[in-house]
Structures are given as structure tokens and as C-alpha cells.
Amino acid sequence: MTADYREFYRGRAVMITGGLGFIGSNLARRLVELGANVLLVDSLIPDYGGNLFNIDGIADRVQVNVADIRQQSTMNYLVRDRDVIFSLAGQVSHIDSMRDPYTDLEINCRSQLTVLEACRNHNPGVKVVYAGTRQVYGKPDSLPVSETHLVRPTDINGINKAAGENYHLVYNNVFGVRGCSLRLTNVYGPRQLIRHNRQGFIGWFIRLAIEDQTIQIYGDGSQLRDFVYVDDAADAFLRAGASDACNGEVFNVGGDEATSHRDLTTLLVEVAGSGRVQYVEWPAEKKAIDIGSFYADSTKFKTATGWAPTVPLADGLRRTVAFYRDHLDRYTGEPEPPRT
């Protein structure tokens, strides 16, 4: 299976929810190359990451359907005849989830049920790959973190993402709607939202570096993270979607190296040739939900699918910085209105 998972997608009908977002649009590019029939579903809710420029260059080879996945009748229609669904739509801001837990609940829990109920009732043969998150682990008891670590989220977003993941496992086990979850760590690369700083730190740091601004690090910057370049993350989704060995399972999908915030930002400033780093005290409300160091053990997924990250951090940062330098206005200016 590791040799021909790419071949699997030729002519396959695939749907990506959140398909105009960061990982979704990068995955769409890969699927187009592989000859899949690609349907992108995205709500284009402002501030969430969907961006029509993300499909620049492939727009004529994908089908775009603007819709909210909370809408049951729409989803009942859209899931029909799809072979694989990549469930990437979500509210990803921890901070927003603590301000407005209800919207996070609607998007990360209810909407997952909406898609799964649509599949159960209208396309039970489909395979669903869910974008999980390392956030479900919360503050780790030990490192690296494997899938045997307790799920103990430290914010509302992590709780709701855990529920969304578990729905996929139950629908797999009870209703036979094949599904699995990839618990992504810190994915970075081109096409990530960098318009505001509420969707993860790395895209925001990259923007600050490009704009020659100051990157603030809380504490001494010794906390460790692992990073996955978005092409490697897309490859993980392709492998999971093509593999029935993954059904009913959760997998960590993380980078091979643990890197401190200090080393990350030093490297970023060096690669960008601009920006600078400043170390500041932890704000109390950030410290309350901080998880310290985190890096994942992705052995389970590597063993199941043959996946491995291929893009070293320095290369990935170089590509990312180059992309945003070329297209900064598309990611920091006013969002484009949807077109039909």
C-alpha cells in the first residue's frame, strides 16, 4: 500500500471540508496532481482560514461549493457518491473557544455529527479522515507523547476536537462508516491564515519576521514543539484515506525533531533575513492554558502507512517565507468575496 496510495486517488471522488483552508487547499493541490475528482466545501467564514487565493492555479480543476457543514440537508447532498472525505473544516482558535464556547461546540462537534449522519444515511461506504489535534492531550505527563497518553485537553477547543474525533471512531465501530483521525501537531507552510494571531503561533511568527517586526516569546523560549511541513501533512491524509488499516484508529502525525521556541525563532529570523526576537514574561491568562513542552511520537502512523516527514524545518521555513513574500497582500489584506 505504501507504493501505490497515490494511484488510489486517480479518478476517485474526494471531498475536502475546509477545502479552501490551509491544509485543505494544500491537500487539494496534491489530489489534483493525482487525478482525483476534487470537491472543496468551505463556509468562508471570515477569520477561519478559507481563502480563495489558496486554490490559485488549480481553481479550474476543482469544484468549489460554499456551504456550512452544520447544514444537514446540504451535507446530505454533498456526501453522495464521494469515495473519501477529508474532514478539515473546524474552528481552530483556542482563544476564540474560550471566549465563545458555543460557536466552537457548533463547529467542532455538531458539524462533525452532521457530516457523519449524512454519511451514515446517504453514503455509508465512504471513508472519512478527520483532522484531529495534539491539543487533545493537554499538558503531557511524559515525552514524546504517544497515542496511549491520556486525553486531557486544557481548553474548550481541545475538548470539542476530542469529541469530534471520537464520533468518527464510534461511527466506524458501530455504523461501519470507515473513519480515522490524524492528531496533527504544529503544521506550517504556505496558505496558512496569518491575518490574525489567534490560530497558532507559527504562521504569526512568520508574518512578523517577514514584516521585520518583533516576535515575542513568553518565558525563556525553552519549550519544545515538533513541526510538520504542510506537504508532509497532506501526504499523511492521502495515506490514511487510502488505507483500511487505519480505520477506527487515532494516529499522531508530528515532526521528527523537537525544537525549542528559541531555536525556531532564531532559525526563522535567519531564514527570513528580517525580524527579531524579544523574550517577555508569561501573561497570566496564557500561562493558565500553556502545556509546556510537547512533541509527539508518530511511530504508530509510520508503521501503519509508511509515512515519514520529508521536509526539514529550515527548508520548510524557507519555502514558506518565499511564498508569503510573493503573496503577502493575499493573506494580510482584505479577504476576497466568494465568487461563483
Please give the residue ranges that form the binding site for a copy of itself (CB under 8 A): 98, 101-102, 105, 109-110, 113, 117, 148, 150-156, 159-160, 162-163, 166-167, 169-170, 173-174, 288-289
Which of 230, 250, 227 lies closest to 240, judged by CA? 250
Q: 123 or 172: whose CB is closer to a copy of itself?
A: 172
Give whole-number Cα distances, 195 to 71, 114, 301, in Å: 27, 29, 32
Q: 44 or 115: whose CB is closer to a copy of itself?
A: 115
Region label for 229, one of left (φ > 0), alpha (ψ between -120 and 50) or beta (otherwise): beta
Long-range contacts of 256-260, Cβ-Cβ distance < 8 Å, separation of 24 or more = 256/226, 256/308, 256/309, 257/226, 257/227, 257/313, 258/143, 258/144, 258/224, 258/225, 258/226, 258/293, 258/295, 259/224, 259/225, 259/226, 259/227, 259/313, 260/221, 260/222, 260/223, 260/224
Nearest distance, CB of residue 125 and a copy of itself, angstroms: 18
Nearest distance, CB of residue 151 and a copy of itself, angstroms: 5
Dihedral (C-alpha) 18, 174, 183, 149: value to the nearest 10 degrees?
160
Q: 117 or 231: whose CB is closer to a copy of itself?
A: 117
Nearest distance, CB of residue 23 and a copy of itself, angstroms: 24
Q: 110 or 262: whose CB is closer to a copy of itself?
A: 110
Q: 63 or 173: whose CB is closer to a copy of itself?
A: 173
Nearest distance, CB of residue 117 and a copy of itself, angstroms: 7
Nearest distance, CB of residue 92 and a copy of itself, angstroms: 17
